[in-house]
Amino acid sequence: MIKYPGEHYWPGYLGNVFVILAFVCALAAALCYFLSTRSRDEAENWRKLGRQFFYVHSLSIAGIICTLFWMIWHHMYEYYYVWEHSSNSMPMKYIFACFWEGQEGSFLLWAFWHVVLGNILIRKSKDWEAPVMTTFALVQTFLASMLLGIYISGYHFGSNPFTVLTREFPQFANMPFVKTVVIENGEKVNHYLEHLDGRGLNPLLQNYWMTIHPPTLFLGFASTLVPFAFAIAGLWTRRYKEWQKPALPWAFFGVMILGTGILMGGAWAYEALSFGGFWAWDPVENSSLVPWLTFVGGAHVMLINRNKGSSLFFTFFLIILTFILVLYSTFLTRSGILGSTSVHSFTDLGLMQPLLIYLLFFIGLALVVFVNEKKWNLIYTGIAATCFLAGTLFGFYKEGLALFLLASVGMGYLGARNFPGEKEETESMWSREFWMFIGALILLLSCFQVTFVTSFPVINKLFGTSFAIGAEGAIKAYNRWQVPFALIIMLLIAVSQYFKYKKTDPKEFYRRMSFTFFVSLALSLTASYLFNWFQFSVKLEYAFLLFACLFAILSNLSYWLDILKGKLDHAGASIAHAGFGLLLLGALLSTSRSQVISQNYKNDVSFLGKDYSNEENILLLRNDTMRMGNYYVTYLGKDKEGIRIRYKVEYMKKDSLTGKFDSLFTLTPFIQLNDRMGNAAEPDTRHFLFKDVYTHITFPGTAPEEMDFSGDYGEPHNSKVKPGDTIFTNNSIMVYEGMQPLTDTSGLRGRKDSVAVGAKLKIFDFYGKIRNVMPVYTLVGNSPKVSETVVDELGLKIAFWNVLPDENRIEISFSEKKMNRNDFIVMKAVVFPFINVLWTGCIIMIIGTVLAIRHRLKRA
Amino acid sequence: MKKSHIIGIIVIAITIGVMVVALMDANTYANFETADKNPGTEYHVAGRLDRDKEMVYDPVKDPNIFTFYMKDTLGVEKRVVLHKAKPQDFDHSEQLVLIGKSNGSDFEANDILMKCPSKYNDGKPVTTENK
């Protein structure tokens, strides 16, 4: 390996020592905790040792993180990760964003949260520590291995954040744009680092969302591990019920954090990306939603089990599935398998195999503790090992995978058969647990539907098929199932609190439900009538969903106010459920009633077929005023600020009496110049209490690279005109009205042989404002003298430079500022009504969940 | 029949329904030839942009029409009418996936997915040798 001057090696060595230490200590901690769980006499010693290893592991993870931050802070571009994700010009407020922009950094973030949660559990989980921390340490072993970046029999295993740039790409330092040769002591030395700048953080990610969204989401992912580890521990030590007590608050904590993380992603998409909404059923969005659905189901089934003792199997199933789905999501989004189907999938860094192994390992682990019989476990482990070897060493991927999955199904069957008997007791339909169970089933089905459709790329890879779903098709494919599922969930949320555990009196139930039922029925009927939803059978489901949302909100509120007497102690669930109802209500209203107002009135394209009339874009010339929905809009011009080209769009309303335009607000959507992802349009949104007006540029008149903000004038255009002729410029119309001899030739004092004529021009701009100008043509003797007339507001320069008396014409030339050229935009504007209901619901849901967790911790 | 059995049957029915409907909703990747044979059926067609042929976007006339030529994976070339504004970064993209149907002569796309080289070589200095 060639060394170059200026490269720092110690941070890399240090970082790699931490990586290896983190990996080895996690493995050792897992082993010690494992032995502690198994051993009778030495349990305490092993546990202590395991704890020490986990502490060292925690410190190592912290060490990796600090080292990487240090390197980014000091712009050490000799390191690949630093060069790739940061640059000199990047403001340091984005240091967090650039830290977790890449795969390695986001794995570190995830590992960091596991370390935090693990350390809390070491302190709090008492006799559960050893079995729970075994799983934690195992997960950390896998995560740390992703950072090793070593080669095992030809496979690149993981991706190391401390890779030296010139080692990964030996030719890099000799590339012409970095090579800096200096003669030192008669020898040529390449100081390539001297002028090297990093590639920088993707401009699209340079906003505060990138600072807050990933940590929240990863804390959510990390917190699915806690109930999972407890569930595994419960199966392993055959304490099938006791594990739930410590795990339950964690489950709801995780539901809250993961839900918040997902919604932050939605808010980011809505605020800063030109998705045109907060949810697009994008595969990456889906893969964070899917574990949340089972997590919600699992947490609620835990409540059933705690209160009534049934549905034990289902509890294990959902909690374990949640973590497995987190791993599956990780596999989907980071292995590169999604390819072009998603706007924000990671690129393939050779993580496909490790991630798959990671996923399959934990499926296997769950099944082993589930069956918990030595004989079968040995057979299964044997099969799994064979499949692993067949897949990795001999290339029998599909065969190995198929055999493993077959064996896993077998294990699942065995485990279910031998699962400690649940009381075979049919639940009454008049009990809360029955309907909670149904709710969890619906969530599971909903999760299955999303997973299945999102997994098309995986199915294609496995079976050689070529299924695909288009962007618009996807929304239909998901909504047709998810809307009815949401409807059932909402109805269940509305009624289930009014059911008591075990047995409910039907009369009492009807009496309590009827008021909110009829109020929400009346409200939703009225609203649906006003929205014209009854006229289309497709929209009928909106009407049903609207009713269900209102019913859920009102009955949870009334449960809180009426039955709980407005006390906050037990109100967590009611408030959280009402919040969730509001959230879905907001989603329903804003999506179903959203209105693309930027229709193209001028050009009829409907003859192309109704499927294709994608009339969502409007063309605006500069200073041209067009009607758009209830507004009139004018494109006022553009300016450049850093990497942003900002377009000023004024929204106005027309006074019906005077016909004058009154300015309402101005939006500045912009185009971000992004050499990494291509230029990206970012929207601007005006928020009102009851609606949002959302605007983004779909096409800039001039390509951003060719725009000129210098104020220079372009090529002159020449026209021969006779009186009454019109000359068109980019943003005005000039009418030539005729010549006028000028007697005042004061500028030419003393010259009797001078003649001057003016050309009377009337200039109309797109505001309707009229300017009269008169460029002058002078003859001094026989030589013409031309002066230019400048109209600053229009960026226009006019010269009258020749008279053609025979044709009764004159010659006029004009030139315009270059920035005027093609100065138009094509933009899209959407009105989202009631989107604030969605955000309010989100906040109320979080408050409710916090109350519920607090209450549960107080009772514990 | 016990209640649990009824619930089980319903769950299995919905599961099967989800799969069948999803596969019916899905359209498949195809080439221009297949799309031409079945005009009116929606397909995903992958291919490469032909930079030598003209690309027409005249927003003054209609901001929602953009035409260009694409060669599919088998090398068949067709004129494509995209019923959308010209995508921001179209000029830099190479590989395209069109979603739409053939009308016999042209391919009418209502959506487009683009792979820009910069996005997918992300992080790899392009001119260096990649081991």
Q: How many CB atoms lie within 10 A of CB B91?
A: 15
Whether the CB of B91 is below 8 Å from some CB of chain A: the reply is yes
Restricting to A residues 328-387, those with a Cβ less than 8 Å away from any Cβ of B are 340-341, 347
CA distance A224 to A252: 10
pLDDT of amino acid A153: 61
pLDDT of amino acid A467: 81
Angle, helix A835-859 to helix A244-272, in steps of 10 degrees: 160
> Which tokens go with A219?
């804390």
Whether the CB of A679 is below 8 Å from some CB of chain B: the reply is yes
Whether the CB of B28 is below 8 Å from some CB of chain A: the reply is yes
SS (H, E, C) B51-66: CCCCCECCCCCCCCCE
pTM equals 0.85
Contact by Cβ (8 Å): A132, A50:
no
pLDDT of amino acid B125: 35
Residues near A423 by Cβ (< 8 Å), separated by ≥ 6? A309, A310
Closest-CA distance of chain A to residue B32, Å: 15
pLDDT of amino acid A425: 59
Facing residue for B28 by CB, picked from A340, A466, A609: A466
pLDDT of amino acid A748: 53
> Which tokens go with A775?
């460029």
Is the pLDDT score of B127 beyond 50?
A: no
> Which tokens go with A333?
């989004």
Query: Hey, which residues does A764 pair with through a beta bridge?
Result: A733, A770
Query: Hey, which residues does A784 pair with through a beta bridge?
Result: A779
> Which tokens go with A612?
């294709």
Closest-CA distance of chain A to residue B42, Å: 10
Q: Do A470 and B27 touch (CB under 8 A)?
A: yes
What does the pLDDT look like over A183-197, one tens digit per residue?
Answer: 878 788 888 887 788
Facing residue for A468 by CB, picked from B2, B14, B29: B29
Facing residue for A175 by CB, picked from B27, B83, B128: B128
pLDDT of amino acid A779: 80
pLDDT of amino acid B47: 84
Contact by Cβ (8 Å): A693, A829:
yes
Restricting to A residues 568-597, those with a Cβ less than 8 Å away from any Cβ of B are none
CA distance A511 to A502: 19
What does the pLDDT look like over A507-564, one tens digit per residue?
Answer: 888 888 888 999 999 999 999 888 888 877 767 888 999 999 999 999 999 998 888 8
Restricting to B residues 105-124, those with a Cβ less than 8 Å away from any Cβ of A are 108, 110-111, 113, 115-116, 118-120, 122-124
> Which tokens go with B48?
């490469």
Q: Report phi then psi at A127, rounded to 5.
A: -75, -5
What does the pLDDT look like over A330-374, one tens digit per residue?
Answer: 998 888 787 655 544 455 556 778 888 899 999 999 999 999 889
pLDDT of amino acid A340: 55
Facing residue for B44 by CB, picked from A347, A470, A616: A470
Chain A partners within 8 Å of B127 (Cβ): 171, 175
Residues of chain A with pLDDT under 70: 1, 152-156, 274-276, 339-350, 421-427, 470-472, 538, 600-615, 675-678, 704-706, 744-753, 766-768, 820-822, 860
CA distance A540 to A487: 12
Chain A partners within 8 Å of B108 (Cβ): 608-609, 612
Whether the CB of B22 is below 8 Å from some CB of chain A: the reply is yes
Whether the CB of B61 is below 8 Å from some CB of chain A: the reply is yes
Facing residue for B113 by CB, picked from A169, A340, A828: A340
> Which tokens go with A783?
């030589």
Residue-wise burial string across A787-805, b where 16 or more C-beta atoms lie within 10 A, e elsewhere: ebbebeebbbbbbbbebee
The single-letter code of the amino acid at A137 is A
Query: Hey, which residues does A811 pair with through a beta bridge?
Result: A720, A802
DSSP A164: B
